[in-house]
Amino acid sequence: MCFSGAETSKITLFRFLMKKIFCLLLGFLALSANATLITFDEQNEQYFVNNIVEGDYLFTTNFNGFGTNNDNLWPSNGTMHLMSWINGGNSSGFNLTNTVAGTFSIQSFDFVGGYVRGSNAVTSLSVSGWLDGVLINTFNFTAGVDFQNASNYTTLSTVFSNIDTLQVEAIGSNNRAQFENFIVGDAVSVPEPAGVALIAFGLVGLSLSRRKKKA
């Protein structure tokens, strides 16, 4: 298929603008790239504590048992990790907050449930994001026998991009749950479609202006 000179110029301009818009959107998404990996390698073995501090982030128990360890009874990924448990109930877990910035985003974390021999299993994991006391969204993950990564792109990394509290609840009778490798970052404000459209029109005007000057 052959195009005239004017049509070819339009196609070239369109491709140029699409590249500009794509790069611009990548720039917005890059705001979330300022990620921090939270591990518990520097923590001592501890049980029945109320909270655990890692940098700017505070993990607070909201149920029964809470602590860090790396012994042979619990599944291990080879390093110290966070754990929660419940005796005489069905829920264990914690709240995660940022003590400095207030709001934050979370991309993923690793988790596993039960003792190494399969007892005291976690049947599901409920993850909820809150902002100013308002529930933003909730997702459920199925726990396995090995450490699994909660990183579904359509859930944590996109929905929980501007929260002040992450609530994690492990479900299962007298369950034992372990957590590790939290990837968190600054709160991200996703541009509204109207805003992106205005930027696109601005790029169009800028490109046309440059082309007229060259002509």
Look up residue 69 and give its two tokens.
């360890």
Contact 44, 142 (CB under 8 A): no
**31-74 pLDDT tens trace:** 445 789 999 999 999 999 999 999 999 999 977 789 998 877 88
Measured CA to CA, the distance from residue 33 to residue 43 in angstroms comes to 26
pLDDT reported for residue 98: 95
Residue 140: closest CA among 117, 158, 114, 122: 122
Using CB atoms within 10 Å of the CB of residue 39, give its burial: 0 to 12 exposed, 13 to 18 middle, 19+ buried: middle
Intervals of the chain under pLDDT 50: 13-14, 16-17, 20-32, 152-155, 190-204, 206-214
Beta-ladder partners of 111: 148, 179
Question: Which domains, from first to last, does the chain contain?
Answer: 32-185 (2.60.120.430)
What letter represents residue 189's amino acid?
S
Helix (H) or strand (E) holding 12: helix 5-29
Measured CA to CA, the distance from residue 98 to residue 189 in angstroms comes to 17
pLDDT reported for residue 84: 94
HSE of 41 in the Cβ direction (CA atoms, 13 Å)? 8
pLDDT reported for residue 130: 96
Contact 130, 98 (CB under 8 A): no
HSE of 81 in the Cβ direction (CA atoms, 13 Å)? 24
pLDDT reported for residue 92: 94
**Distances 129 to 34, 91, 103, 105 between C-alpha atoms, Å:** 19, 17, 11, 9
**Distances 214 to 16, 36, 79 between C-alpha atoms, Å:** 16, 46, 62
CA terminus-to-terminus distance, the chain:
27
Measured CA to CA, the distance from residue 185 to residue 33 in angstroms comes to 7
